[in-house]
Amino acid sequence: MNFTDEQRAFAKSVADFCQREAGTRAQRDQLTGNGAELHSEELYRKMAGLGWAGIIVPEEYGGAGAGNVEMCIFLEETMRGGAPMGGVGPTFITAAAYAKYASEELKKEVLTGVTAGDSLAISMSEPEAGSDVGALTCRAEKVDGGWLINGQKTWCSNAHFANSILLIARTDRGGKKHEGLTQFHIPAGTTGLKIQGIDTLGGREVNDLYFTDCFVPDEHVVGEVDNGWNQLMAGLNIERLILGAMQLGVAQRSFDDTLKFITERKQFGRPVGTFQALRHRMADHATEIECAKLLVYSLADKADANPGKIFPREASMVKLKTTETSKAMTIDGMQMMGGYGYATEFDAESLMRGAIISTVYGGTNEIQRDVVGKTFGL
């Protein structure tokens, strides 16, 4: 990739900010309640003050209106810098959907909030509808002046602190399973919505949502009624690119931390990194990370050059490669650090916990392989 001078300067600015504001374990613990939370609103709003939270928001709503390459630079450097901002991925994914499909009134409300540091969530999965999103049953029934929503959602990231949730619900049960889906804007605190956290290996990050006679006015429909599936499919480039850029940053952070440790740690009279077993492992990981980076920025560049075009093969390859690379690097990083990698004193174990789930959310990697295979007519 041939980054411009401006892009390189931007990457350095984000890296410097992360080092200054969250460069030490003590700083990160203070921002997250000793690791209890994965997203620091305080830090995120500081970044918003620099104009970075609205990097992909159109200029008319206070954003920078930047391209996908700049977005990936921001996400990569943020995750590499260890900034506790786990909510940024779902926020950017959801903001892109509002920018494309929401009414002008909703765009002004939601997107100007994003530029100020508001967080968003998107809710698709249900207990019986994970990879098979078309099987969802949470229903929205038309009533006078709006819609009445009933049902359950699950695995919803950000919902416990998001300013609003973009809900995908079934509005018509008469056609094929991918038909009759609609997107709805659900502000935080809406009557009839109950949010219940799910304890996970990575901490508090996802939630169950329960809708009981939850009224949503007509003006909170996002896009076309019954056409939610096509709207979701049109957003796959941005979703998988966002997840890919974030996991690229995680992989690089794990590599950086591991390299520092094995350079300083001595056994048998010399740094452990000089032993062939570890040296070769790090060489392999450096190569895999470089491959992942090229995939990410190649897709970002294509998406910028061809707005509106869907790149299913490239997007699935990005998600597949970056998350597998991140998972492998963080697990190996723990192994190379020995017992210290297992200790909570270091970040290795938390990086590993966060990377493992990345191969599941945003479309499992089995689904990504299936998508890639189908693009070859298989």
Q: Which of 333, 338, 249, 206 is nearest to 15 (CA)?
A: 249
Catalytic residue among 37, 109, 126, 239: 239
CA separation, residue 95 to residues 71, 177, 247 (Å): 13, 26, 20
* 134: confidence class by pLDDT, cuts 50, 70, 90: confident
The arithmetic mean of pLDDT across residues 113-132, rounded, is 94
Judged against a pLDDT cut of 80, whether residue 1 lies above it is answered with no
Q: What angle do CA 228, 156, 319 make, to 5 degrees?
A: 75
pLDDT at 33 (0 to 100) = 86
Predicted confidence (pLDDT) per residue in 308-343, tens digit: 899 999 999 999 999 999 999 999 999 999 999 999
Predicted confidence (pLDDT) per residue in 86-110, tens digit: 899 999 999 999 999 999 999 999 9
pLDDT at 347 (0 to 100) = 93
Annotation marks residue 239 as catalytic: yes
DSSP state letters, 316-369: HHHHHHHHHHHHHHHHHHHHHHTHHHHSTTSSHHHHHHHHHGGGTTTS-HHHHH
pLDDT at 177 (0 to 100) = 85
When the pLDDT of each residue in the chain is averaged and rounded to a whole number, the result is 95
Q: Which of 7, 138, 132 is nearest to 71 (CA)?
A: 7
Exposed, middle or buried by CB within 10 Å (0-12, 13-18, 19+), for 363? buried
Reported pTM:
0.95
% of the chain beyond a pLDDT of 70: 100
The owner of tokens 């980054």 is 3
